[in-house]
Structure 1
Amino acid sequence: MVRNHDTKSLSKNGGVEELAKKLSVSLSEGVTSSELPIREKIFGENRYAEKPARSFLMFVWEALQDITLIILMVCAVVSIAVGVATEGFPKGMYDGTGILLSILLVVMVTAISDYKQSLQFIDLDREKKKIIVQVTRDGNRQEISIHDLVVGDVVHLSIGDQVPADGIFISGYNLEIDESSLSGESEPSHVNKEKPFLLSGTKVQNGSAKMLVTTVGMRTEWGKLMETLVDGGEDETPLQVKLNGVATIIGKIGLSFAVLTFLVLCVRFVLEKARSGSFTKWSSEDALTLLDYFAISVTIIVVAVPEGLPLAVTLSLAFAMKKLMSDRALVRHLAACETMGSSTCICTDKTGTLTTNHMVVNKVWICDKIQERKEGNEESFELELQEEVKSILLQGIFQNTGSEVVKDKDGNTQILGSPTERAILEFGLLLGGDFVEQRKENKILKIEPFNSNKKKMSVLIALPDGGARALCKGASEIVLKMCENVVDSNGETVPLTEERITNLSDVIEGFASEALRTLCLVYKDVDEAPSGDLPDGGYTMVAVVGIKDPVRPGVREAVQTCQAAGITVRMVTGDNISTAKAIAKECGIFTEGGLAIEGSQFRDLPPHEMRAIIPKIQVMARSLPLDKHTLVSNLRKIGEVVSVTGDGTNDAPALHEADIGLAMGIAGTEVAKESADVIIMDDNFKTIVNVARWGRAVYINIQKFVQFQLTVNVVALIINFVSACIT
């Protein structure tokens, strides 16, 4: 039914309410904890079947595929055959057995390192799949792991959430689902009572809703898709290709010297036989002498081959991988570890990578005054407001929100919702407001949830004394145009004159220049609830809040480290250009002589102008995913080795296009992670710098070893050749 989006079957079965009864669940209370084991037994767990881990023997077989080792194995077999024939058993086996033991050592170290790395990868891969979902159980809203979800659970979805299982829409507002990960369709699908089906693995793009879980685990659409996926073989890394090339060339040189040595020895032997007059008389001793010459030739090949190279490469890479895992970087492809070392440019997101991704209200304009957040042991705001103004402000915060303030099992306050909503609710709590009391005081009559086109959200509440009040909040440039009045310094409502509009615009611009995201909180009293949409004008301005996502500690130093190492850091963000420039300056990315450009300007440039300004670009604001992809492809065309960070499904093209794709482990979607080479588990820019540092260390270590090994081998090869020919 869910798979085929069969609304007729759903209607025949009495809709979602009757379906809930058949599943023995209350849509308001959710499932009871005592039923969980039974439901898991009947309907299965919400887990996807994982491919069985590769056995240790598989890693041994892979280690044996190395060209250098294959050459040595052939030489060892030949050496044993010739040795037994010339010197007898067991003396003739010593040389060949020694070579085989050396090969065994290299293979075992390689296989053990790769096997341990594989086990660590599985553990970290399991960790990145830990997703928390909000459900109603036993009548309470609570957070649980996605793996603990059962059929019959009532799940709460909001913007940015991944749909955790297949299910049916119960209720919600303006729900839009991004199904591109399943269907490939870029346009969002609208889900409502008429089109109520939700599929696992898709993502909430807009709105909020409650859904009833009908299928979990491998029975979901995502589970069936996972069954069909077959992993392709791993490509050789650039370093492995180069080293195999070195091994092949050395093998050819060694073979040439071996053939030459054998020919010289044979010619000398034949000439000596001719000089002594015994050219026509050949004995078994002569045959053994020729076999001995052949053994010497084989020894020269063994001397020429750098047998320690596979071991050195493996140990260097395994050590780097292990260190990166402890530094919270999950390397999905070995090539990433190496290529990151030669990276010349990092195109990074702002939110969550350079910043903490925990929004806070940093400044607020209210009653003609600007107040700043006081930071200390207890963060607080000291606002001297009249009771009526404070009441309206708290109504605007606690009534007009898609988020909730709840108590967890330990009695601690938790704010559930988007980062911006959480920041505003946290601000309301700092002012001494009570979310539950506010919700009890006024009945909500109508809600218009936030969407990206209108850039505002509104709610209509009933007032205790009769009448209604429309509360609205949203992007400053849009909400300010809806206002006719403003609350002045005395707490009085006065007309919004041109002078006051200019002053407010200056305040908003001032906030934005400090990297603050501004929202306006406004209200309008009406006699009765409007039948259609909520009013679009006639509002009274109450407050302008400046919300900031603080820069992560250590980011500035990490950026300076990159710049000192010759890596250019560029910031690509969807934020406005003022905020982007302010954050980039704070991080040390935007410097004198650098260029900050908006995505719309960048994409309209002719190709020759675009290529001319790309080296100067340090900040790109208001960018679309296509802009990021264009920037990356053009940087690669001018010879840059580009690393890109991304967290959204729409970042997948840029992550794929880049030399190195870096996906965010916390904020990143599954699609972004699948397109990436490295997963940054803590979403921190400092971790990206560590990946580059270890990548360079790998190259330097292997370079040193190759120089040492080739010096030794060339000298040994010449000495063996000369001594064999002379003696």
Structure 2
Amino acid sequence: MFVWEALHDLTLIILIICAVLSIAVIRDGIRQKVSIYDLVVGDIVHLSIGDQVPADGIFISGYNMLIDQSSLTGESVPIDICEKRPFLLAGTKVQDGSGKMLVTTVGMRTEWGKLMETLSEGGEDETPLQVKLNGVATIIGKIGLVFAVLTFLVLTVRFLVGKGLRHEFTRWSSGDALKLLNYFATAVTIIVVAVPEGLPLAVTLSLAFAMKKLMNDKALVRHLSACETMGSATCICTDKTGTLTTNHMVVSKTWVCGKAKEVNNTGPKDSLVNDISEDVLNVLLQAIFNNTGSEVVKDKDGKTTILGTPTEAAILEYGLLLGGDFEEQRSICKMLKVEPFNSEKKTMSVLVALPDGKIRAFCKGASEIIVKMCYSSINGNGETVPLSEEQVRNVMDVINGFANEALRTLCLAYKDINDDSNKNSIPDSAYTLIAVVGIKDPIRPGVKEAVKTCLAAGITVRMVTGDNINTAKAIAKECGILLDDDLAIEGSDFRQKTPEEMSQLIPKLKVMARSSPTDKHVLVKTARNSLREVVAVTGDGTNDAPALHEADIGLAMGISGTEVAKESADVIVLDDNFATIVNVAKWGRSVYINIQKFVQFQLTVNIVALMINFISACASGSAPLTAVQLLWVNLIMDTLGALALATEPPHDGLMRRRPVGRTESFITRTMWRNIIGQSIYQLAVLLVLNFVGKQILGLRGSDSTAVVNTFIFNTFVFCQVFNEINSRDIEKINIFRGILGNWIFTVIIVSTVVFQVIIVEFLGTFASTVPLNWQLWLLSVLLGAISMPIAVVLKCIPVGRIIATDKHHDGYDLLPSGPDLA
């Protein structure tokens, strides 16, 4: 009924008519500029160099069209689009050529859209630390509640029994009601002290501090919890291009005149210039600068830029490194005919007229094809010599050797045209081999060391890439990821496995090549759910978004990463460097251990405060620590303690530990040793002072009770001050390392002492304290300071702690933990 009434609205009727007319005439049959959001199935889109493909479609016509699909498929090599391979995908880029595309799919039905749909699956999971902290907070809160109820009941029962023994049960005064109210206030205060409301503050402070520091180290943390999650990571699934490698193709090795040489890409010129004759160098430069679809451009400032595909750019860059001049070569040589690169022939050829009038053909392409087209080679003097079968085998051995080193090989060849009848056609045989070049995407500086650090820290590094398996294996070995007993597999083989087979396979899996977005997503999901690993994933393309979303922590590349990848990630690595990822893990571990320090400190205060009040209430019917005093201790413990311990910077020893497993206990045996040891000492001192303090201190008079209670409070606070210093390191004896470098910690300790003096000496009525003489002040400080040598003794006591016996966390073993075991 409502719809029918709405349809009678004049404006709506007009809009409906316009919509029908718009559907009837979509594009008027002429070429026009429209928004990509207005594209519909059936539209014909014109594409040229630099354009982003706006929808899925089919190639209709065009010239030399190369598509960069790395953002969607992870493949670094551009795809040649033609009638035999006509499919274009949304989100990819036109790297070369131009063409027309028939739109077949738009919106969420495109491959890009399907990837986006996977990102909306599921909600936000709690981080491993959040799960553990929730459990700790719940247990502490329940224990505090039990002690609070028991304390209130004991105090109330003792009061009622005493009142009954004095035969005053029927006589009640306002003073009696006030006593009961004070008992209730004490009980409530115990709950306040016990409930770890400072825990979220400690977590947030530690994460915010790490987030700020990481920003200076080229890592933008989008979600605070990502810091601590990265610290618990047991596995990093990283892509290759741009993360482990520089994403900049260079010529790494060459074979010229029968000799293979390393290319010096760091100097002003390559040493090959000095090893070959000028004639050979001229032919080589002619082959590089004339037979190319790319070009070298200089701006107004004289800065050189190479435009073209990564492979072409690498060869041109090598030509410049040999001292060649692109513009000069192009100006002195006249281009007669060009055969662009063809994916079927896998070659590119040109016919040029040289300055001396000679006609010369140049050809370059896949090594095995060019070698078959060559009947001769050029020697060191620039002379042409025939290629024997043995020499061909030697050249092929060189090519295979380059390929095994993850180098993409291309051959350069030439042929002089002497027959007038063939001067207008490009030959397909009888060439002279000039050179074999090996091109690679170099490993980033520092990647080997970063991978080594990960392995020492118990973090498994897996490379997931779209490249072929030989290249992937070679790069992985160079980075130190793939060892002799490790497994490398192609995505097509992986996806055929059953979930059980995948679970058995993943612990040994270090390289997955030719992987699809789905393969990466399944790998991450299986590792998380079946193997209970804490998985970090790096990615830069739209294809990586589902895996980034599924992982415990997603790390997107800031330079090469797409906006979709960045939106799906928890951390954006601004410099695209794997070493930065390791730094994030280091800070993450610092966050985790800083929160452990705070919990150790807090639990010690909790146990002592609860037990001293409970035991005292049971024995004497009164609590030595008042509500105000407990609240001040709570302030020290929660707010100031969180701020002090949560801002401790990381040290290198953190990356020599195994990662904390998802199922491991947050409060370790080492922590319990420290907590129990310090609690026993503090309780012994405070109980002795509570029951025989007057006699020990020689206190007499009407104010002796107030003095001893103040002294107990003062000693209790100084015990916490020194124990806070002890908590700077849970295992190491040297707790003063870097203390002056952490000015926040120093300021908080000094501020706590100053405020304690003010409370004791000047806030007597409010805090239920009386001023103390200097001897009692000194004794309070000394009793508190004794906790430091006690901490040294405790840390020398070995305890068993559970850590993984191997990097895959398949089993557990009890290993001793002491001051020297980090």
TM > 0.5: yes
Structure 1: how far apart are the matches of 2:496 and 2:284?
A: 43
Are 1:699 and 2:588 counterparts? no
Residue 608 of structure 2 is matched in structure 1 by: 715
Structure 1: how far apart are the matches of 2:595 and 2:261?
A: 57
State the Cα distance separating 1:709 from its structure 2 match: 0.4
Is the Cα contact below 8 Å between 2:540 and 2:562 reproduced in 1? yes
Structure 2: how far apart are the matches of 1:544 and 1:247?
A: 66
Residue 34 of structure 1 is matched in structure 2 by: none
> 188, 192, 207: which one pairs with 2:96?
207
Amino acid at match of 1:568: T
Structure 2: how far apart are the matches of 1:236 and 1:552?
A: 34
Deviations 1:36-77 (A, max 9, x none): xxxxxxx9xxxxxxxxxxxxxxxxxxxxxxxxxxxxxxxxxx
Q: 1:94-109 alignment to 2 at 5 Å?
A: none
Residue 571 of structure 1 is matched in structure 2 by: 463
Structure 1: how far apart are the matches of 2:177 and 2:342?
A: 92
Equivalent residue of 2:273, what SS?
Answer: coil
Equivalent residue of 1:432, what SS?
Answer: coil
| Change beyond 3 A, Cα 1:539–1:668 | farther
> 543, 561, 567: which one pairs with 2:435?
543
Structure 1: how far apart are the matches of 2:22 and 2:345?
A: 31
Residue 344 of structure 1 is matched in structure 2 by: 234
State the Cα distance separating 1:275 from its structure 2 match: 4.3
Q: 1:9-88 alignment to 2 at 5 Å?
A: 15=31
State the Cα distance separating 1:706 from its structure 2 match: 0.4
Amino acid at match of 1:203: T
Is the Cα contact below 8 Å between 1:332 and 1:677 reproduced in 2? yes
Deviations 1:169-221 (A, max 9, x none): 9996415476998xxxxx999799xx9xx99x93316534599xxxxxxxxxx
Is the Cα contact below 8 Å between 1:255 and 1:301 reproduced in 2? yes
State the Cα distance separating 1:337 from its structure 2 match: 1.3
Q: 1:263-282 alignment to 2 at 5 Å?
A: 263-282=153-172
> 527, 547, 567: which one pairs with 2:422?
527
State the Cα distance separating 1:608 from its structure 2 match: 5.8
Residue 669 of structure 1 is matched in structure 2 by: 562
Structure 1: how far apart are the matches of 2:283 and 2:505?
A: 49
Equivalent residue of 1:382, what SS?
Answer: helix
> 385, 389, 401: which one pairs with 1:510?
401
Q: 1:221-236 alignment to 2 at 5 Å?
A: 236=126
Amino acid at match of 1:394: L
State the Cα distance separating 1:352 from its structure 2 match: 2.7
State the Cα distance separating 1:662 from its structure 2 match: 2.1
| Change beyond 3 A, Cα 1:549–1:170 | same
Amino acid at match of 2:539: G
Structure 2: how far apart are the matches of 1:484 and 1:624?
A: 42
Is the Cα contact below 8 Å between 1:177 and 1:190 reproduced in 2? no
Q: 1:476-491 alignment to 2 at 5 Å?
A: 476-481=367-372, 486-487=377-378, 491=382
Equivalent residue of 2:137, what SS?
Answer: helix
Structure 2: how far apart are the matches of 1:438 and 1:7?
A: 56
Is the Cα contact below 8 Å between 1:458 and 1:470 reproduced in 2? no
Is the Cα contact below 8 Å between 2:52 and 2:94 reproduced in 1? no
Is the Cα contact below 8 Å between 1:332 and 1:679 reproduced in 2? yes
Residue 313 of structure 2 is matched in structure 1 by: 422
Is the Cα contact below 8 Å between 2:95 and 2:309 reproduced in 1? no
Are 1:558 and 2:450 counterparts? yes
Residue 109 of structure 1 is matched in structure 2 by: none
Amino acid at match of 1:368: G
Equivalent residue of 2:260, what SS?
Answer: strand
Residue 646 of structure 1 is matched in structure 2 by: 539
Q: 1:11-410 alignment to 2 at 5 Å?
A: 15=31, 157-158=49-50, 173-174=64-65, 176=67, 202-204=91-93, 207-208=96-97, 236-374=126-264, 377-380=267-270, 381-382=272-273, 390=281, 392-410=283-301
Q: Which one has the largest radius of gyration?
A: 2
Residue 28 of structure 1 is matched in structure 2 by: none
State the Cα distance separating 1:506 from its structure 2 match: 0.2
State the Cα distance separating 1:545 from its structure 2 match: 0.4
- The alignment's C-alpha RMSD in Å is 4.8
Is the Cα contact below 8 Å between 2:231 and 2:585 reproduced in 1? yes
Residue 508 of structure 2 is matched in structure 1 by: 616
Equivalent residue of 1:295, what SS?
Answer: helix
| Change beyond 3 A, Cα 1:629–1:379 | farther
Aligned length: 560
State the Cα distance separating 1:330 from its structure 2 match: 1.6
Residue 744 of structure 2 is matched in structure 1 by: none
Is the Cα contact below 8 Å between 1:599 and 1:622 reproduced in 2? yes
Structure 2: how far apart are the matches of 1:403 and 1:275?
A: 105
Gaps in structure 1 of 5+ consecutive residues: 24-42, 44-153, 182-186, 212-221
Structure 1: how far apart are the matches of 2:71 and 2:299?
A: 35
State the Cα distance separating 1:560 from its structure 2 match: 2.0
Structure 1: how far apart are the matches of 2:362 and 2:28?
A: 37
Amino acid at match of 2:96: G
> 577, 594, 607: which one pairs with 1:684?
577
Amino acid at match of 1:642: V
State the Cα distance separating 1:711 from its structure 2 match: 1.4
State the Cα distance separating 1:666 from its structure 2 match: 1.6
Is the Cα contact below 8 Å between 2:294 and 2:306 reproduced in 1? yes
State the Cα distance separating 1:663 from its structure 2 match: 2.0
Are 1:588 and 2:480 counterparts? yes
Structure 1: how far apart are the matches of 2:22 and 2:80?
A: 12
Structure 2: how far apart are the matches of 1:571 and 1:375?
A: 26
Structure 1: how far apart are the matches of 2:574 and 2:176?
A: 68
Amino acid at match of 1:569: V
Structure 2: how far apart are the matches of 1:369 and 1:7?
A: 69
Amino acid at match of 1:564: A
Structure 1: how far apart are the matches of 2:402 and 2:238?
A: 24
TM-score norm. by structure 1 comes to 0.65
TM-score norm. by structure 2 comes to 0.58
State the Cα distance separating 1:699 from its structure 2 match: 1.0
State the Cα distance separating 1:705 from its structure 2 match: 1.2
Structure 2: how far apart are the matches of 1:541 and 1:11?
A: 55
| Change beyond 3 A, Cα 1:671–1:601 | same
Bigger mean CA deviation after superposition, 257-266 or 458-467: 458-467
Structure 2: how far apart are the matches of 1:291 and 1:616?
A: 65
Residue 775 of structure 2 is matched in structure 1 by: none
Identity %: 65
Is the Cα contact below 8 Å between 1:177 and 1:191 reproduced in 2? no
State the Cα distance separating 1:405 from its structure 2 match: 1.0
| Change beyond 3 A, Cα 1:177–1:570 | closer
Structure 1: how far apart are the matches of 2:363 and 2:514?
A: 24
Is the Cα contact below 8 Å between 1:597 and 1:621 reproduced in 2? yes
Is the Cα contact below 8 Å between 1:157 and 1:163 reproduced in 2? no
Structure 2: how far apart are the matches of 1:721 and 1:285?
A: 23
State the Cα distance separating 1:537 from its structure 2 match: 6.5
Bigger mean CA deviation after superposition, 657-666 or 600-609: 600-609
Is the Cα contact below 8 Å between 2:95 and 2:308 reproduced in 1? no
Residue 437 of structure 1 is matched in structure 2 by: 328
Amino acid at match of 1:435: F
| Change beyond 3 A, Cα 1:628–1:473 | farther
Structure 2: how far apart are the matches of 1:716 and 1:447?
A: 86
State the Cα distance separating 1:410 from its structure 2 match: 1.2
Is the Cα contact below 8 Å between 1:486 and 1:495 reproduced in 2? yes
